Amino acid sequence: MDKIFGFIGAGNMGGALARAAARKLPGSNIVISNRTPEKAAALAEELGARAVSNAEAAVSARYIFLGVKPQMMAALFDEIRPVLDEREEPFVLVSMAAGISEARICELAGRDVPVIRIMPNTPCSVGQGVVLYHMNSLVGEEDARYFLYSMSGAGLFVELAEKLFDAGGAVSGCGPAFVAMFIEALADGGVDCGLPRKTATELAAQTLIGTSKLLMESGKHPGLLKDEVCSPGGSTIEGVLALEDAGFRSAVAGAVIAACSKTKELGK
Ligand SMILES: NC(=O)c1ccc[n+]([C@@H]2O[C@H](COP(=O)([O-])OP(=O)(O)OC[C@H]3O[C@@H](n4cnc5c(N)ncnc54)[C@H](OP(=O)(O)O)[C@@H]3O)[C@@H](O)[C@H]2O)c1
């Protein structure tokens, strides 16, 4: 039997993950529900999937994605818990909620159930995301394997201990905001030097993509990639030292540390 992927909450992240699923699965294997049903209907039409109620998603899906904001999770469970209690077919809950542990999801479900906790990021919407994941011990091997295959259109899946989710999320979950600021700043410099804005942004963005690819494919340390661009007495080293003067690296590391502590504080 085909395993249905059900997305409850078709917002930014739920929608991005449903689109990722549609890269690997036929639309007929995807169901989508949302508080504002028009949003689920529009996404379902785009993907050739079916728009359903929360209850129907909870009753029919093998993988039930919980795509609501963390503060809405308890209310959502009040709605779907009775449906889950009645189910005879196995299911897996997939939570993307920042700061909500697998144990808390089981508590909300009223019993120990298979849970996959994920922390996706916004580039999942173009298939280039990072998805941190951790599965509790009740997720079977076959369910785990099929999940990873079916969702691989979202980007890179990285398994991480649950206790490191806040740290990982501060890098890859919050990272797109930091990286976007860097691209904007790189382009600002270009504009100040006379480049048209559109060209400057394109150069900056592609330079990030290319450097990242080079780093990942060559396996070289980032410091070495930097050294390779810096000729003695040249322009790049001048720019590198200007960044050092401005505390660039400690500012970026500090942003990650600040984001991580805020996540921990919000999770309390
Ligand atoms: N955005 C990110 O970068 C990011 C990264 C990692 C994890 N996350 C996690 O992803 C989750 C969703 O965040 P988001 O940014 O996608 O938020 P969002 O855009 O606000 O989406 C939330 C969606 O849930 C729907 N919803 C709310 N209550 C519902 C209910 N009871 N039943 C069905 N649908 C319901 C909302 O419907 P309406 O259309 O009626 O508002 C909305 O479409 C959060 O837990 C967040 O922590 C987000």
Contact 168, 158 (CB under 8 A): yes
Confirm or reject: Cβ of 69 under 6 Å from ligand 1.
Answer: yes
Give the pLDDT confidence of 128-168 residue by residue, as tens digits.
Answer: 999 999 999 999 999 999 999 999 999 999 999 999 999 99
Measured by CA distance, the residue closest to atom 42 of ligand 1 is: 11
Confirm or reject: Cβ of 11 under 6 Å from ligand 1.
Answer: yes
Confirm or reject: Cβ of 71 under 6 Å from ligand 1.
Answer: no
Confirm or reject: Cβ of 33 under 6 Å from ligand 1.
Answer: yes
Burial of 95 (0-12, 13-18, 19+ CB in 10 A): buried
Q: What pLDDT is attached to residue 206?
A: 98
Give the pLDDT band (50/70/90) at residue 105.
Answer: very high
Task: Return the domain boundaries, the chain.
Answer: 5-165, 173-267
Give the pLDDT confidence of 42-60 residue by residue, as tens digits.
Answer: 999 999 999 999 999 999 9
Confirm or reject: Cβ of 10 under 6 Å from ligand 1.
Answer: yes
Q: Do domains 5-165 and 173-267 have the same CATH topology?
A: no
Residues forming beta bridges with residue 117, ordered by sequence position: 95, 134
User: Which amino acid is it at 227?
Assistant: D
Give the pLDDT band (50/70/90) at residue 266.
Answer: confident
Give the pLDDT confidence of 198-240 residue by residue, as tens digits.
Answer: 999 999 999 999 999 999 999 999 999 999 999 999 999 999 9
Instruction: Return the CATH architecture of domain 173-267.
Output: Orthogonal Bundle (1.10)
Output the pTM of the full model.
0.93
Q: What pLDDT is attached to residue 1?
A: 55
Ligand 1 atom closest to residue 15's alpha carbon, by position in its atom list: 16
Measured by CA distance, the residue closest to atom 46 of ligand 1 is: 97
Superfamily of domain 5-165: NAD(P)-binding Rossmann-like Domain (3.40.50.720)
**Cα(100) to centroid(ligand 1), Å:** 14
Confirm or reject: Cβ of 64 under 6 Å from ligand 1.
Answer: no
**Cα(11) to centroid(ligand 1), Å:** 5
**Cα(224) to centroid(ligand 1), Å:** 40
Ligand 1 atom closest to residue 36's alpha carbon, by position in its atom list: 40
Residue by residue, DSSP assigns 120-139 as --GGGGGT-EEEEEEE-TTS
Backbone angles phi, psi at 89, to 5 degrees: -70, 140
Confirm or reject: Cβ of 13 under 6 Å from ligand 1.
Answer: yes
Task: Calculate the alpha carbon distances from 25 to 19, 79, 139 in Å.
Answer: 10, 27, 21
**Cα(102) to centroid(ligand 1), Å:** 18
